């Protein structure tokens, strides 16, 4: 790898942060931390850490020797000075005299010595930085170096490759003991440029910001050269079925398998969101004949365990002509994984003083030969992070296997890391939002009610897929709320099928459908052209059926229930003059909602509708409001508030009703009016 150091960029960083009152040491620390953090072959998603020893004034104005070290919750790639909290250095150094120090006491000492008590918690590797004498210390989990250390003879390989430029540190879990051990090993060879922590990563240090950065680049380059020169042996592929199923065809059933029933009586599940990945490197790995061996060794560096669990589940390859057989074998494989996981917890949860509460036993990574892999998480972001980490694991393991044999930590070390309270704390213990872990598909998402619904479901914690004919408009809203945009013509079978495949690829499946797309046609019913009526039925009835059918197909594969929501109109109940072409199919759609409630209630799928009225939207444009108000001889405001509550109804009001119906666990077959009160449209 090449050094990206630039004198002018370094200077620019110093000048930019000087304006914020940040000193040169910290400004340069931010600069090279970002250089390291920007390279996924060095660190990923909050991994790695850096520090600088500098003097800062405390609140009394006294100069204090401090360690500015990466705080938890920050990524090296986009770190700011606030992400490197300052800790008083001397009290940290004095801890080295202790024989032991519990994790809790260590964290307390680190937090207790912060200059700013509101700063983020300093890295779990803070003491390691503090015990080393160097001004600048950089730590990464570089892919190429892990490929060398994660082997049975990793220490020998590292001695060959790095010579006496580094000292080697045998694996110890991060914390006080590792910090002490690193300091002792360094002091025995004070000429070294860095430390290689076997099966963990690499530290480089120096007196300027540039020095450890370029030492890191040098060490990684040596490892890369070794891998490139060692005439790698490719992984041998297994024989695969001729026709393989698509990932979209298997995702919903696998997602359903991962879900954990939390209340059988209430039909509640803890669901996961899936992220699918494939590509040449991934296929090379998952199609390998030795997959069952090299994938079952453990993670490439300890801090991945918290997000991907120590081991992935290996599924059989899915033959397209035997999906039923595949699902049976996949179910058995996931069941066996859970049993093995529970047994692993039981075997290792032996410290009576600190018994650990077992985590859920569902795998976070599913390897599917012939297809790729699925990563799972509590939400789309967590699934994406897990997928990135596993792609990195694939890279390290394949590299290690190409020059030797991949080997990770032993099981007790894996358990200690997975159940380490300080790592678990990284995941946070925030209470989940009511629709967290749920995937919602919204049709007509670019319209007023669609947009408002996307916001409301997102605010309730759901992942949202925004379906619309106008992809650009859907993209804009998706970008705003944090969802995906999918082009969908709801009047076309193929377009609908493709859209739901896209959703299955993005999130693994769907839990809630909001069938919202519609348009108003008018005409006096005794005179209207049949073609107009049929066109309206196509969009305002058959499209609802088309998307509901597609969503129910996925829900039935997931076997975790689901929710259908239909946008019926007040026209479905209370016909307006000349609105027959709109009201008739809407009435059929209201009935459709009830039909789904009847036919799929036993499968835990609920179906409800909202009949809204007078929402400013594509259906009721400003021009129409003007014309109708004029026809009634009232102001526009009076027209829009012409209801019992005398308040205008908005898209947000309708969206809230859809969210409420999604949450109403014992309600199905219902129609809710959201119209400010229109007694002629009341259902009963």
Among the candidate windows 149-157, 200-208, 461-469, 513-521, which touches Zn ion by CB under 5 A?
Answer: 200-208
Q: Does 201 bind Zn ion (CB under 5 A)?
A: yes
Q: How far is the CB of 404 from Zn ion (least distance, A)?
A: 22
The Cα–Cα gap between 571 and 581 comes to: 10
Q: Which is nearer to Zn ion, 166 or 588 (CB)?
A: 166
Judged by CB under 5 A, the chain residues 521 through 540 that form the site for Zn ion are: none
**Shortest separation between residue 364's beta carbon and Zn ion, angstroms:** 20
| Closer residue to Zn ion (CB): 146 or 315 | 146
Which residues fall within 8 angstroms of residue 402, CB to CB, at 6 or more apart?
Answer: 227, 230, 232, 233, 234, 235
In the three-class reduction of DSSP (H, G, I as helix; E, B as strand; rest coil), residue 166 is classed as strand
**How far apart are CB 410 and Zn ion at their closest, in Å?**
18
Q: Tell me whether residue 201 or residue 252 sits nearer to Zn ion (CB atom).
A: 201
By CB under 5 A, is residue 194 in contact with Zn ion?
Answer: no
DSSP secondary structure letter of residue 563: E
**CB closer to Zn ion, 201 vs 604:** 201
**CB nearer to Zn ion: pick between 174 and 447:** 174
Q: Give, in order, the Cα–Cα distances in Å from 36 to each of 3, 4, 67, 141, 300.
A: 10, 9, 19, 10, 19
Q: Minimum Å distance from CB 37 to Zn ion?
A: 13
Helix H segments across 123-168?
126-131, 143-149, 154-162
Q: How far, in whole angstroms, is CA 104 from its chain's centroid?
A: 29
For residue 88, the minimal CB distance to Zn ion (Å) is 23
Question: How many Cβ atoms sit within 10 Å of the Cβ of residue 345?
Answer: 17
Piece in contact with Zn ion (CB under 5 A), picked from 197-205, 338-346, 388-396, 463-471: 197-205
Q: How many residues touch Zn ion (CB under 5 A)?
A: 1
* Cβ within 8 Å of residue 106, ≥6 positions away: 95, 127, 175, 176
Residue 582 annotated as catalytic:
yes
Q: In this complex, which beta carbon is closest to Zn ion, that of residue 196 or of residue 486?
A: 196
Collapse the DSSP code of 382 into the 3-class scheme (helix H, G, I; strand E, B; otherwise coil) and give the result. Answer: helix
Distance CA(678)–CA(684), nearest Å, equals 12
In the complex, minimum distance from the CB of residue 48 to Zn ion, in angstroms, rounded to a whole number: 6
Complex with Zn ion: residue 201 or 450, whichever CB lies closer? 201
**Other Cβ atoms closer than 10 A to 652:** 16
**Hey, which residues between 608 and 667 contact Zn ion (CB under 5 A)?**
none
Q: How many CB atoms lie within 10 A of CB 69?
A: 29
CB 444 within 8 A of CB 466: no
> Would you say 128 or 513 has its CB closer to Zn ion?
128
Q: How many CB atoms lie within 10 A of CB 684?
A: 3
Residue of this chain nearest to Zn ion (CB atom): 201
Q: Smallest gap, in angstroms, from Cβ of residue 302 to Zn ion?
A: 7
| Under rule CB under 5 A, residue 175 binds Zn ion | no
Please report how close the Cβ of residue 38 comes to Zn ion at its closest, in angstroms. 18
**Strand partners of residue 169:** 197
**Cα angle 617, 618, 621; round to 5:** 70
In whole angstroms, what is the distance from residue 443 CA to residue 25 CA? Answer: 53
> Is the Cβ–Cβ distance between 42 and 19 less than 8 Å?
no
Considering only 199-207, 288-296, 435-443, 521-529, which stretch makes contact with Zn ion by CB under 5 A? Answer: 199-207
**Catalytic residue among 17, 294, 390, 582, which?**
582
One-letter-per-residue 3-state SS of 482-509: CCEEEECCCCCHHHHHHHHHHHHHHHCC
Of 451, 558, 441, nearest to 500 by C-alpha is 441
Tokens standing for 581? 């072409």
How far is residue 493 from each of residues 10, 66, 507, measured CA to CA in Å?
56, 65, 21
Residue 201 vs 299, nearer CB to Zn ion: 201
Q: Least CB distance from residue 126 to Zn ion, whole Å?
A: 12
**Of 111-119, 198-206, 521-529, 670-678: span binding Zn ion (CB under 5 A):** 198-206
Q: Are 255 and 334 in contact (CB under 8 A)?
A: no
Which residues sit at the interface with Zn ion, rule CB under 5 A? 201
Active site residues: 582
């Amino acid at each position: 790898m090449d050094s990206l150091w630039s004198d002018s960029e370094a200077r620019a960083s110093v000048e930019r942060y000087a304006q914020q009152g940040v000193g040169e040491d910290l400004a340069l620390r931010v600069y090279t931390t970002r250089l390291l953090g920007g390279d996924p072959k060095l660190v990923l998603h909050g991994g790695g850490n850096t520090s600088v020893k500098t003097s800062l004034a405390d609140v009394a104005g006294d100069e204090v020797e401090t360690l500015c070290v990466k705080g938890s919750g920050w990524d090296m790639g986009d770190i700011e000075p606030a992400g490197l909290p300052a800790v008083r250095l001397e009290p940290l150094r004095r801890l080295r005299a202790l024989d032991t120090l519990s994790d809790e006491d260590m964290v307390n000492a680190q937090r207790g010595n912060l200059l700013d008590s509101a700063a983020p918690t300093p890295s779990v590797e803070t003491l390691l930085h503090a015990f080393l004498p160097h001004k600048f210390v950089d730590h990464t989990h570089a892919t190429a170096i892990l490929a060398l250390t994660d082997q049975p003879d990793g220490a020998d390989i590292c001695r060959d490759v790095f010579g006496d430029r580094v000292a080697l540190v045998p694996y110890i879990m991060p914390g006080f003991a590792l910090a002490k051990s690193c300091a002792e090993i360094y002091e025995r060879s004070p000429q070294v440029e860095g430390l290689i922590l076997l099966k963990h990563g690499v530290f480089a240090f120096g007196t300027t910001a540039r020095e450890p950065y370029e030492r890191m680049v040098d060490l990684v380059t040596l490892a890369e050269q070794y891998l490139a020169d060692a005439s790698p042996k490719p992984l041998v592929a297994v024989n695969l079925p001729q026709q393989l199923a698509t990932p979209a065809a298997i995702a919903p059933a696998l997602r359903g398998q991962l879900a954990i029933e939390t209340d059988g009586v209430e039909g509640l599940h803890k669901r996961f969101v899936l992220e699918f990945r494939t590509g040449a490197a991934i296929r090379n790995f998952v199609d390998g004949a030795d997959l069952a061996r090299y994938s079952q060794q453990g993670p490439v560096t300890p801090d991945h365990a918290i997000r991907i669990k120590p081991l992935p589940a290996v599924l059989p390859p899915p033959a397209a002509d035997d999906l039923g057989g595949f699902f049976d074998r996949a179910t058995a494989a996931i069941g066996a994984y859970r049993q093995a996981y529970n047994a692993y917890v039981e075997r290792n949860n032996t410290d009576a003083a600190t018994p650990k509460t077992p985590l859920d036993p569902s795998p976070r990574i599913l390897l599917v030969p012939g297809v790729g892999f699925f990563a799972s998480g509590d939400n789309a972001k967590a699934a994406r992070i897990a997928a990135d980490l596993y792609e990195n694991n694939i890279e390290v393991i394949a590299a290690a296997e190409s020059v030797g044999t991949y080997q990770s930590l032993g099981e007790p070390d894996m358990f200690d890391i997975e159940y380490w309270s300080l790592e678990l704390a990284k995941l946070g213990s925030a209470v989940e939002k009511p629709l967290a872990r749920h995937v919602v598909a919204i049709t007509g998402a670019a319209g007023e009610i669609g947009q408002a619904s996307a916001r409301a479901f997102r605010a309730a914690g759901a992942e949202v897929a925004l379906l619309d004919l106008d992809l650009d408009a859907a993209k804009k809203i998706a970008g705003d709320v944090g969802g995906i945009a999918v082009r969908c013509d709801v009047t076309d079978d193929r377009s609908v099928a493709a859209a739901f495949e896209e959703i299955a690829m993005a999130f693994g499946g769907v839990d809630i459908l909001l069938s919202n797309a519609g348009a108003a046609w008018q005409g006096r019913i005794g005179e209207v052209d049949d073609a107009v009526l049929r066109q309206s039925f196509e969009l305002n009835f058959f499209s609802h059926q088309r998307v509901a059918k597609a969503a129910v197909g996925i829900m039935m594969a997931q076997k975790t229930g689901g929710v259908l929501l239909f946008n019926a109109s007040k026209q479905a109940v209370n016909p307006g003059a000349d609105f027959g072409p709109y009201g008739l199919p809407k009435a059929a759609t209201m009935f459709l909602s009830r039909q789904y409630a009847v036919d799929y209630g036993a499968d835990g799928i609920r179906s409800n509708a909202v009949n809204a009225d007078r929402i400013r939207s594509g259906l009721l444009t400003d021009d129409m409001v003007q014309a109708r108000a004029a026809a009634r001889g009232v102001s526009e405001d009076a027209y829009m508030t012409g209801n019992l509550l005398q308040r205008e109804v908005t898209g947000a009001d309708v969206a809230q009703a859809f969210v409420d119906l999604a949450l109403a666990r014992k309600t199905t077959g219902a129609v809710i009016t959201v119209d400010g009160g229109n007694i002629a449209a009341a259902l009963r």
